[in-house]
Structure formats: structure tokens, C-alpha cells
Chain A
């Protein structure tokens, strides 16, 4: 179908420290005991897209990701892992691999997307309109955790998160306006010309840019070449394309395709042909605009189309980093959401288990939870619904696990409470611990009677006996 897929897998995102580290780049962060990237890759695989370019920040991370991919998909997929320098924007990342792009259209997917919307639908909408860019929009997740009683008053006070302000035309097919989440508090500036041409605009705040874009390759490369300052797709390239859609400076437009017409056809015939084609079909506002109000404009104005594909409500779509793409260099560090992102991240992990279990490929037991057969439970230990217990994990007596994910080969002592938390692989938890709303990375050791609330514990950290933490980030000092 003449599409190429680029997965932007990020590197070691600063925002997700301490969950990610040099050893665990973001792409390999386990979500429901599977790397984040696997969700995207398998979504693409389902759509019969087997040639994938994965762009990873940092050489080491690229090696890790490449190693994992070749292990997991070697026989099925043809995945190319490209490394770009760390801390470059998404646009820069695309610039770096531009020479690999040859197909007519490019599908750009963020590596932290977990959804079940077929990418083909976006591609089809893109093709149907001959668009310059098509963005997938999904309904924004309900902010915070719906039942996060334990996650603190800070969360409760937070207003529902707005991710994007999006203007759509009356058919809901074209994107007239888009601002990223960080800009929503300011006034909305809408271009008059676009508003005039479209007649009406629907402003939506309940939609989220899902970071799945279809670009016309020529357009994308032209924009990347011309605007060297553009660093982020979401913050620079997409708004630029939307802004200039009616005053396109791009060389690309549909015109080129028609130029190869036979010389014997006279100009008159061509006009008639285009008239026949256009008059019988339902014109979008682009055509109205391009031909002037009543076709009087001598030269058709150049436009390019920016489409939106709005995922239906029933589809599941979440991003693990729900603030912004990790490598958007323009991200706003003052974002009120930034501090609390691990909770969001965690909630999305839990949601994946709860809402979209079929995505993770596990089947639920009768108790609505997933316990690996090799996991061993002590007596009087209960594992609540929407929980997950990985392979080879052991739990002592009288433990209770609620709304949590426990990874592989964990050893958990007796009398431990795990609520609303994520425990990754090879974690050792001593007796009498209480873990609430926290994330324990791989190889963490909790000694006896540790109380953690709303903490994130970096990989390999050891929490000493009897310590209590609340809302802290516990991580080993990076050895430089």
C-alpha cells in the first residue's frame, strides 16, 4: 500500500526516571509485564505491516531495544532499529532517518502507544483525502485515577487534564486547529481565513492527539528540510501544517499528479474533466476555497489537507507517557501534570489490565485476574481482581494484592499489602511491608516492615528495614 512505518520509541526518558534507566529504556518498560513497545509492534503486525523502522534515542538504548526485538520478532517481522542521539526532538529523529523513507506516505507512531485502533483506518482516511497529514485523535482519558483514594489530595485537586484543543470542520474529517496541552490555558487563536473557508469550526477539548500520524512523505520531508528549527512533530510540524493548510507554501499538492496528462488533451478538455470530476462529487471546503468563492479566481489557491481520524469511543487508546511524547524537546517542565505522571502511568498500566486485557494477550481467570500458573501463593493470600502476578513469583502467607501488577520472579514475604502498585521483576519484599500507589522497579529490595506510599523506587534500590516513605522518589545515584 506504499506506506512506511516509523516507530519513535524514545530513549531513557527523563520524565519516567526512576522507572527507566540505562538498563531499561522507555521502550522496554514493562506494562502488564510486557514491554511497552510490544503493544505497538503487535498492533502493526496485526495490520500486516511487517517492515518497521524503530527509532531509539541513544546507542545503548538502541542496542537494548534491538536485542529485544530480534529476540521476540526475528522470525515474523523485519524491524530496523535506528539510533539517534539522545535528547533530540521527534522531528529531528525523523530528519535523521529521512534517507530511509521512500514510500509515498509515512506512518509515524509513538512507541508508547497502547491502543487497538487499526492503523489502517488512519492510513485509509489519509489516502481517501490525499491529505498532507492525518492525525489520529482519540477521546482523552479521564484524568487521574478514578478511584485513587490513596494517591493524595494533590491529585484530587487537579482539574481534568486537557491534552489538546482541536478544531474540526463540520464533517469532522478535517483538522482546522490544534494546540498542544501545554498551551491550552492561553487564549485560543484561530485563523480567520480557515474559519471563513470552513464556515464553522467545532472546538473540542475532549480529544487527545494519539501520536499516530500519517504523513505524505514529500510534505514531511519538505517541511523538515525547510524548517530546520522544528524539533517536535506534535508541537511544530503538525501545528505548522494545520496553520498553513490554506496558504500552502509546499511544492507538493495534488497538481503534480495531474501534470503528466497527455499533450493532445487541450486545456479546455482538462478543465472540463476536472469540472466533471469535481462537480459531481461532494466538495470539501478546500475545493471551495481553492476555486474561490464562485470559481472566479484565475489561479487555484494552493492548499493541503489536514485530516483527522477520530477513533470511535469503544476503542481503547492510551499512552504510557500521557503527558507528551518523551522526546518532544519543547515539553514544558512546569506542567502541573509533570509531577504526578507516574500515577498516570500506573493508572494506565492498571487500565491496560482492566479495560484492554485482550491487548495484553492474557486471559482472565474467574477472579478477573491473571496469575501465572508457576506463581506460588501462601495461605490466606488474596489476589484481587484486575491484578496480575507474573511467572515464578512467590508470595508468603496473609498477603493481599489489589489493583496491582507483580512481575516475574518476585519474592514477597508474609503479611504484605500491595495496593495500586506496580512491582516489576525480581523484586524482593520483606515481611510486613505495605506498598500503596508505588512503583517498584526491577531488582528492588524492600526489607521488613517498609511502608511506601506514592513512591517510585528505582531499579536495584534497597529500602532498609522499618523505613517509611511518602511521595518520594527513591533511586540509586547514577554513577557517572
Chain B
């Protein structure tokens, strides 16, 4: 496996919010050193554990480099910049650097706890709509975060930018474009806000970070392929490559839905018509807010109008919308299978190159699927894998050979990345289940279910508490299957989780992904369960699996993460998987 592929993982792009404590948690069964709260340094080591790590790692790296470059303003815990809301300057809470500490089992939903982590706020300018289209406040925040300077130092920033520019001789095309993009974004951001002072900061923030990335790529022997920037700086005149890379970056990061022009543009392109919610929540303006339930009839009625769509892909999209296929793994597998079929059936017109035509087609499919439902992390990885394979197809292959090889590639991906990984995870996790345990699980995670069943087959005696939540009550299906297999189960809803928790000896949670600082990204409600467990001193085991995600659970509440690479404690800075 090439390093490029692994390094190109979707940034979850969390602009999110969770609850956190500063410093190590008071009681944790396998807690790591207190260093957890200062990850920039610890994150330097590329740990094999993280599914999306390399990007974050490199981001952090760039930040670390920034520190090395002599930025004396870097605050001690630059990673945890606390913000109160999306508009920090306006918020009293946001301006307070101190976050609430959580006491024993008591957590407040105070907005002061809202946290933005480095891993989440993406700095790299490699992604087209990345962090640029945010509000000025965010750009400002990024500048502060990434460079460790406050807004007051903007003059210094600008100076630095110009000096670094003069040092650099002739920037490559890609650099110029990135710069342009940054400026454009900054302009847009400035338009959005009436604070004039933010503009230069934003520009400088972007630009400086950009140049630092350049510097970094030169400095570090290990190549960081994190986008057109890095690649192009390695290869002079690599414009073509850059273009390709940029295309490969589909799916783009989540669109910010408070950016009107982009939303308009997306709407014009959209296949699936969405009705905007009538009463939108201001706080979540950047997220899509649509009325539910009318996409399906709309898409259905367009069945015959979508000519270029392959029926298999269409079917998968339809089933995403209808909720027939849920769960990251299932969605990923069905998507890959649909692509497999589409590749088999696709015919390339003689005047076009097969690989290029296919990439365009896959792009169309992917954007259709995104409209149906945003991709899960694993799906993004799978798409990237597929595109890399397409790009690497040798030209000497005939079309049928190429199709066959892609088909087997997809099969292999499913086998290695999903099935085999799941098996390994199950194997690891089963060792963690002891005789007489009471295991709590939340929602319905396919992996957790497999683990439970496997442990049951191994003859272990334990009890399961299935915690469920509205609206879909997926837990009921899980409960039915578990009871069918003869496990002893208790079923409850999430509002009773604190009631049931005192019986529980272990919490097993599914996760979409684990960020480089150990934060778990999973379905909504997970954080709540984890915090209650934490309050009751119950160890939380996170089964890391590419699931669709909504919620961010800070690492402080997670005792152990079980991945296909082994088991790790998130708080240990993910330095060593405990094999």
C-alpha cells in the first residue's frame, strides 16, 4: 500500500462541539500521562492507530514547525483554543480562556465548554473549499490557532508574510493559486463581517501558513502528501499533477452552509431537491438544515431523468435516502459494489481515455451520493482508493482488462479493509470481555454486535445493556438479534443511562473515527453515554470502525480504543498501540 493513499484521508472537518475537561481525568482505569492535554508535540509521532491521522498529524506538524520557526507567541496549549461560539470576539464566554472543569460526574452543558481542536479546524489550503469560506471570525480563529498569535499582532503577521515571500523566489503555479484562493476566501470572509481588522489577519494567516508548509516540506525529509501544495512543491511544474490531485480530492470537505454563494451554486447543481427548514437554528447555520422526508419522492420522480447515472449507483443513492442502508460499513460496501457494477457496464467513447472518462463518471456518482446523504469517513477513503487505482491504471491495459483489475481491486479493498479489519477488531475486543461483565452498548453497531456474539460463542457469561435513542431506535433490532442468539439483555433508552450505569462494568461503543488527539467521532449520543460512564468510573471501550458520525466524544472519557491495529488508550497520545 502506498503511503499516498493512507495519507489522503478525509478530514472530518468538525466544527464541533463537545464537552471537555482540562487535564487528565480524575479516574480512569487506563489513563495516560497528563501530556494528553498538549498534543502538538505528542502528535508528531505518526501513530498507526488513527484512521484519519496523517492529515492531522501533518497539520499538527506544520504547527509544530511553526513553533520551531520561532513563533514565540505560541501559547502553551495552543491546541485547545477555547471558543464560546462561532463568533468568539462577540462572546464573553469565548474570550475566556479557562474552560470549565468537570467535577465528579457532573458535567455542565455550558457553552464555555465548547472546544475547537487543532485536528478539527483544518488549516491546510489544499482543499478547495476548505477553511476559506468560513466567516471572518473563523479565519481569525484559524490564524490565532495555527500561528499562535492574537489578532493584535496582525501587522507583524503581514510583515512576516512579505518577508517570507521575498525569501522565496518564483512561486510555482500551484502556490500562486493557493495564495489567490486564500485571498479570495479572505475577501469573502471580510465581506461577511463588518470587522475590518480581520481581513489582513485572515490573509496573512492563510498565506503564512502556506509558506510555512512550504518550508516544512523542505525541512522534513518525509514527504507529506497532503494536497496539491506539497506535491507541487516537490515536483516543479507539476501543474498537471496538481490538477489531478485536486480532482482526486473529491469529496470536498463539507460545505459550509452559511456561505450563501456556495450554497446557491450547489443548489443549482443539485439533483436532489431539498426544502430548507423553515425555522433554522442560528447556531447550526453552517450545517445543512432541511426538511426531512421530501427528498425521496422527489428523487423517485426523477428516476428516468438522470440519464448518466448508472442504475446500480442510483439504487444505492435511493436506498441511502430511504434509510434502507444505514451504517458506515454497509454504506461503504454497497457503494463499492455499485461502483463495481458501474465500472463493469461503462463504455468509454473511443475519443476519450478510459481512466479519465471513468474518473469523471465516478465523480458524478460520488456527488450524487453525497447529495443523497453525506459520505461517511470510510466511504471517502474508499473513493480515494478507487480513484488512485484508476489513476494508476497502465495505459497498455485494454479496457476490459482495466475493468477486471479495478473490479478485483474493489473486492480486495472490501476484503482487506473491512472484513479482515473487522475480524481483527473482534478478536482484540473479545479478550477484553471478562466473565460476568455487564456490557453497555449504545445504538446498534455492527462491530459491537459481532464482538458480543463472538464472546458469547466463546462461552463467556455476560450481560448486555442495550441503550437506544430515538428516532429510529436501531437498538431494538440489535436487541432482537442478541436475544435471538441467547444473550441476556436489558434494553433502555438513553435518558435512563445514568440509572442503569451503576450496574455496568464496561461500555462498548462504536466509532466512526478517532482523531489524532484521541477524540472519538461517533453517532450522536455517544458523548453522553461516555460521560455518564466516566462519572460512574466505568471504562469505555471504543470499537473503532468507519461509522457515520455526528458526535464528538473527547478523549478524556474514553478508556481504550480498539482498532484493527491493536488497542490503545487515547489519552496516551496514541504513541504506542498496546499489542
Contact = CB atoms under 8 A, between A and B. Distances in A.
Interface of A: 1-3, 47-49, 104, 118-121, 123-125, 127-130, 261-262, 264-265, 269, 272-273, 275-277, 279-283, 293-295, 312
Interface string B425-463: 000000000000000000010100110000000000000
Contacts of A128: 315, 318-319, 322, 324
A2 B333 CA distance: 23
A48 B329 contact: no
15 contacts: A118-B301, A119-B303, A120-B303, A269-B419, A273-B418, A273-B419, A276-B330, A276-B422, A276-B446, A277-B330, A279-B446, A279-B478, A280-B444, A280-B446, A281-B330
B489 interface: no
Contacts of B481: 279, 295
B329 A280 contact: yes
A282 B314 contact: no
Contacts of A283: 477
Contacts of A123: 303-304
Contacts of A279: 330, 444, 446, 449, 477-478, 481
A124 B318 contact: yes
B322 A49 contact: no
B91 interface: no
A294 B485 contact: yes
Q: Which of B300, B302, B319, B322 has the most CB of A within 10 A?
A: B300
A354 to B, nearest CB: 24
Given A127-B318, A276-B422, A281 B324 contact: yes
B488 interface: no
B21 to A, nearest CB: 33
Nearest to A120: B303
Given A280-B325, A281-B324, A127 B301 contact: no
Nearest to A104: B311
Among all A-B residue pairs, the 7 with the closest Cβ atoms: A120-B303, A280-B327, A294-B484, A124-B300, A118-B301, A280-B330, A121-B300
B484 A120 contact: no
Interface in B300-356: 300-307, 309, 311, 314-315, 318-319, 322-327, 329-330, 333-334
Contacts of A275: 446, 450
Given A48-B307, A262-B415, 20 more contacts: A1-B307, A49-B304, A121-B300, A121-B301, A123-B303, A124-B300, A125-B300, A127-B318, A128-B315, A264-B415, A269-B415, A272-B422, A273-B419, A275-B450, A276-B333, A276-B419, A277-B334, A279-B444, A280-B446, A281-B326
B419 A1 contact: no
Nearest to B423: A272
Given A273-B333, A279-B446, A295 B484 contact: yes
A127 B301 CA distance: 13
| Interface size, B (range) | 35 or more
B324 A282 contact: yes
Interface string B265-306: 000000000000000000000000000000001011111111
B314 A120 contact: no
A265 B297 CA distance: 38
B414 interface: yes
B316 to A, nearest CB: 10
A282 B419 contact: no
Given A49-B304, A282-B477, A124 B325 contact: no
A127 B315 contact: yes
Q: Which of B303, B315, B450 has the most CB of A within 10 A?
A: B303
A239 B482 CA distance: 37
Contact of A120 (B301, B324, B326, B446): B301
Given A1-B314, A273-B414, A294-B484, A120 B300 contact: yes
B212 interface: no
Contacts of B301: 118, 120-121, 124
A325 to B, nearest CB: 24
B31 to A, nearest CB: 32
Contacts of B162: none
B258 interface: no
Nearest to B547: A280
A272 to B, nearest CB: 5
B193 interface: no
Tell which of A124, A125, A295 has the most Cβ of chain B within 10 Å.
A124
B329 A1 contact: no
Given A124-B299, A128-B324, A280-B326, A48 B333 contact: no
A104 B311 CA distance: 10
A480 B251 CA distance: 71
Contacts of B477: 279, 282-283
Nearest to A273: B419
B330 A2 contact: no
Contacts of A264: 411, 415
Given A1-B311, A276-B330, A120 B304 contact: yes
Nearest to B445: A280
B408 interface: yes
Contacts of B326: 280-282
B48 to A, nearest CB: 24
Nearest to A3: B304
A118 B303 contact: yes
Contacts of A118: 300-303
Contacts of A293: 484
A275 to B, nearest CB: 8
A1 B330 contact: no
Contact of A265 (B302, B334, B411): B411
B303 A281 contact: no
Interface in B61-114: none
Nearest to A280: B327
Contacts of A130: 315
A3 B414 CA distance: 30
Nearest to A107: B304
A1 B300 CA distance: 12
Contacts of B307: 1, 48
A275 B426 CA distance: 14
A48 B304 contact: yes
Nearest to B315: A127
Contacts of B325: 277, 280-281
B303 A47 contact: yes
Of B446, B472, B478, most buried by chain A (CB within 10 Å of CB) is B446
A127 B311 contact: yes
A279 B480 CA distance: 11
Nearest to A283: B477
B248 to A, nearest CB: 26
A95 to B, nearest CB: 26
Contacts of B408: 262
Contacts of A124: 299-301, 303, 314, 318
A276 B453 CA distance: 13
Given A121-B297, A273-B414, A273-B419, A281 B327 contact: yes
Given A128-B322, A283-B477, A119 B419 contact: no
Contact of B415 (A121, A265, A295): A265
Contacts of B418: 273, 276
Contact of A1 (B303, B323, B472): B303
A126 to B, nearest CB: 9
A47 B301 CA distance: 8
A261 to B, nearest CB: 8
B425 to A, nearest CB: 12
A131 to B, nearest CB: 12
A351 to B, nearest CB: 23
Given A280-B325, A295-B484, A47 B305 contact: yes
A262 B411 contact: yes
A90 B327 CA distance: 43
A118 B422 CA distance: 43
B449 to A, nearest CB: 6
A367 B502 CA distance: 75
A77 to B, nearest CB: 13
A394 B334 CA distance: 64
A280 B325 CA distance: 7
